[in-house]
């Protein structure tokens, strides 16, 4: 796969966006002329904003992960039921075939006697 064909998850794109925004906002605050207390207040405000956005993103990931786990559990349960039914059908077919062979052997045994 060449460098141009890489695929990035939505999470890494969102995190990169948030971090880039935080760094850009921090640099803008630090490079604009203002008093120390005012700069610290703005930095705290930006940090709070980034933290809130990060919490939203992680909550979204957690919700999606829970959905995926639940769907996976349902799929496993469905596949398990299908396999159990197939095994049961196989056992029944084997029993019928066993009875057919036993009947055939008994007839052949009676004919040779």
> Residue 11: its pLDDT value, please?
72
Tokens at 35, concatenated: 């008093």
> Residue 83: its pLDDT value, please?
95
> Residue 69: its pLDDT value, please?
93
The mean pLDDT value of the chain amounts to 83
For residue 1, being part of any structural domain is answered with: no
> Residue 5: its pLDDT value, please?
59
C-alpha to C-alpha distance for 34 and 11, rounded to whole angstroms: 35
Residue-wise pLDDT for 51-98, tens only, equals 888 888 888 888 988 999 999 999 999 999 999 999 999 999 999 999
User: What DSSP state is assigned to residue 6?
Assistant: -
Please report, for residues 3, 4, 33, 43, 107, the alpha-carbon distance to residue 21 in angstroms, rounded to integers and kept in the order given. Answer: 25, 24, 20, 12, 87
What is the extent of the structural domain holding 30?
A: 6-112
Tokens at 59, concatenated: 């909550």
> Residue 1: its pLDDT value, please?
46
């Amino acid at each position: 796969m060449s460098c141009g064909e890489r695929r990035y998850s939505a999470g890494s794109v969102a995190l990169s966006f948030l971090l880039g925004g935080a760094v850009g906002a921090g640099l803008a605050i630090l490079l604009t002329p203002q008093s120390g207390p005012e700069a610290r207040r703005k930095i705290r405000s930006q940090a709070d904003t980034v933290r809130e956005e990060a919490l939203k993103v992680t909550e979204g990931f957690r919700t999606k992960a829970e959905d995926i786990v639940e769907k996976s559990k349902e799929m496993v349960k469905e596949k398990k039921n299908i396999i159990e039914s197939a095994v049961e059908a196989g056992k029944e077919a084997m029993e019928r075939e066993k009875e057919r062979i036993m009947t055939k052997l008994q007839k052949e045994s009676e004919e040779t006697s």
